[in-house]
Amino acid sequence: MDKELEHGNHFKRYKSGYYWLDKRRIGRIVVSQKMVHKYNLSAKFIGDFFDKNIFEVDFKHEYIARFSHIIQLNHSYGYSQSKGSRATTQTPHGKCFSKEFVAWLNNFPLDLLYEGHENAEVWAWCQEKN
Protein backbone atom coordinates (compact mmCIF):
# COMPACT_ATOMS: atom_id res chain seq x y z
CA MET A 1 0.00 0.00 0.00
CA ASP A 2 1.30 3.43 -0.98
CA LYS A 3 0.83 5.57 2.12
CA GLU A 4 0.65 9.38 2.02
CA LEU A 5 3.51 10.82 4.06
CA GLU A 6 3.28 14.55 3.39
CA HIS A 7 0.94 17.01 1.68
CA GLY A 8 2.33 20.33 0.50
CA ASN A 9 0.70 23.15 -1.44
CA HIS A 10 1.90 21.79 -4.80
CA PHE A 11 2.63 18.14 -4.07
CA LYS A 12 1.67 14.99 -2.24
CA ARG A 13 4.49 12.72 -1.07
CA TYR A 14 3.86 8.99 -0.75
CA LYS A 15 6.17 6.07 -0.06
CA SER A 16 6.54 5.69 -3.83
CA GLY A 17 7.58 9.31 -4.42
CA TYR A 18 6.28 12.80 -5.19
CA TYR A 19 3.09 13.57 -7.08
CA TRP A 20 3.11 17.17 -8.37
CA LEU A 21 -0.37 18.69 -8.16
CA ASP A 22 -1.76 20.49 -11.18
CA LYS A 23 -3.40 23.61 -9.76
CA ARG A 24 -4.46 24.74 -13.27
CA ARG A 25 -6.89 21.85 -13.72
CA ILE A 26 -10.10 20.90 -11.95
CA GLY A 27 -12.33 17.89 -11.87
CA ARG A 28 -15.67 17.04 -10.29
CA ILE A 29 -17.84 13.98 -9.96
CA VAL A 30 -21.40 14.18 -8.63
CA VAL A 31 -22.66 11.07 -6.85
CA SER A 32 -25.82 9.72 -5.29
CA GLN A 33 -26.23 8.94 -1.60
CA LYS A 34 -26.24 5.26 -2.60
CA MET A 35 -22.66 5.60 -3.94
CA VAL A 36 -21.48 7.48 -0.85
CA HIS A 37 -22.62 4.53 1.29
CA LYS A 38 -21.56 1.78 -1.12
CA TYR A 39 -17.97 3.03 -1.44
CA ASN A 40 -17.67 4.91 1.86
CA LEU A 41 -16.77 8.07 -0.05
CA SER A 42 -15.41 11.25 1.42
CA ALA A 43 -17.52 13.79 -0.46
CA LYS A 44 -19.13 17.17 0.15
CA PHE A 45 -22.85 17.83 0.11
CA ILE A 46 -23.79 19.14 -3.30
CA GLY A 47 -25.98 21.85 -1.75
CA ASP A 48 -22.97 23.28 0.09
CA PHE A 49 -21.03 23.29 -3.18
CA PHE A 50 -23.80 25.20 -4.98
CA ASP A 51 -24.07 27.68 -2.11
CA LYS A 52 -20.40 28.63 -2.64
CA ASN A 53 -20.49 28.64 -6.46
CA ILE A 54 -22.76 30.46 -8.90
CA PHE A 55 -24.75 28.36 -11.36
CA GLU A 56 -27.98 28.80 -13.29
CA VAL A 57 -30.98 28.08 -11.05
CA ASP A 58 -32.39 25.30 -13.30
CA PHE A 59 -29.03 23.58 -13.39
CA LYS A 60 -28.70 23.70 -9.61
CA HIS A 61 -32.15 22.25 -8.85
CA GLU A 62 -31.79 19.50 -11.44
CA TYR A 63 -28.58 18.22 -9.89
CA ILE A 64 -29.66 18.58 -6.27
CA ALA A 65 -32.68 16.41 -7.15
CA ARG A 66 -30.46 13.72 -8.72
CA PHE A 67 -27.29 13.72 -6.62
CA SER A 68 -26.47 14.29 -2.97
CA HIS A 69 -22.68 14.76 -3.00
CA ILE A 70 -19.79 16.05 -5.06
CA ILE A 71 -16.17 14.92 -5.19
CA GLN A 72 -13.72 17.65 -6.18
CA LEU A 73 -10.74 16.04 -7.87
CA ASN A 74 -7.05 16.76 -7.55
CA HIS A 75 -4.93 16.22 -10.64
CA SER A 76 -1.21 15.68 -10.97
CA TYR A 77 0.93 16.67 -13.94
CA GLY A 78 3.90 14.56 -12.91
CA TYR A 79 5.59 12.06 -10.65
CA SER A 80 9.17 11.77 -9.41
CA GLN A 81 10.81 9.40 -6.97
CA SER A 82 12.56 12.24 -5.14
CA LYS A 83 11.84 15.94 -4.74
CA GLY A 84 14.77 16.96 -6.93
CA SER A 85 14.47 14.39 -9.71
CA ARG A 86 12.84 15.02 -13.08
CA ALA A 87 9.08 14.45 -13.22
CA THR A 88 7.40 12.03 -15.61
CA THR A 89 3.73 11.40 -16.42
CA GLN A 90 4.13 7.65 -15.82
CA THR A 91 3.51 6.79 -12.15
CA PRO A 92 3.37 3.53 -10.18
CA HIS A 93 -0.44 3.98 -10.23
CA GLY A 94 -0.92 4.64 -13.94
CA LYS A 95 -0.36 7.55 -16.29
CA CYS A 96 -1.21 11.05 -15.02
CA PHE A 97 -4.79 12.05 -15.97
CA SER A 98 -5.84 8.41 -16.59
CA LYS A 99 -8.97 7.13 -14.85
CA GLU A 100 -6.92 4.65 -12.81
CA PHE A 101 -4.47 7.26 -11.59
CA VAL A 102 -7.00 10.00 -10.81
CA ALA A 103 -9.14 7.49 -8.87
CA TRP A 104 -6.08 6.43 -6.86
CA LEU A 105 -4.91 10.02 -6.21
CA ASN A 106 -8.38 11.03 -5.00
CA ASN A 107 -8.99 7.89 -2.97
CA PHE A 108 -12.10 6.54 -4.67
CA PRO A 109 -12.57 3.16 -6.36
CA LEU A 110 -12.29 3.06 -10.14
CA ASP A 111 -15.61 1.16 -10.24
CA LEU A 112 -17.38 4.39 -9.25
CA LEU A 113 -16.81 5.73 -12.77
CA TYR A 114 -18.79 2.82 -14.22
CA GLU A 115 -21.86 2.98 -11.96
CA GLY A 116 -24.08 4.70 -14.50
CA HIS A 117 -25.32 8.28 -14.85
CA GLU A 118 -28.09 7.82 -12.31
CA ASN A 119 -25.48 7.21 -9.58
CA ALA A 120 -22.33 9.02 -10.68
CA GLU A 121 -21.63 11.64 -13.32
CA VAL A 122 -18.33 13.24 -14.24
CA TRP A 123 -18.76 17.02 -14.50
CA ALA A 124 -15.17 17.83 -15.30
CA TRP A 125 -12.06 15.74 -15.85
CA CYS A 126 -8.69 17.48 -16.03
CA GLN A 127 -10.43 20.64 -17.19
CA GLU A 128 -8.39 23.84 -17.37
CA LYS A 129 -9.57 26.51 -14.94
CA ASN A 130 -10.81 29.75 -16.46
Domain hosting residue 49, numbered range:
4-128
Tally of domains within the chain: 1
Give the percent of the chain with pLDDT over 90: 75
Residue of 71, 86, 72 lying closest to 20 (CA atoms): 86
pTM, entire model = 0.87
What is the pLDDT, as a whole number, of residue 55? 63
What is the pLDDT, as a whole number, of residue 41? 95
User: For the segment 7-62, what is each residue's pLDDT rounded down to a tens digit?
Assistant: 999 999 999 999 999 999 999 999 999 999 999 998 888 888 877 776 665 677 77
User: For the segment 105-116, what is each residue's pLDDT rounded down to a tens digit?
Assistant: 999 999 999 999
Distance CA 36, CA 127 (A): 24
The residue length of the chain stands at 130
What is the pLDDT, as a whole number, of residue 57? 56
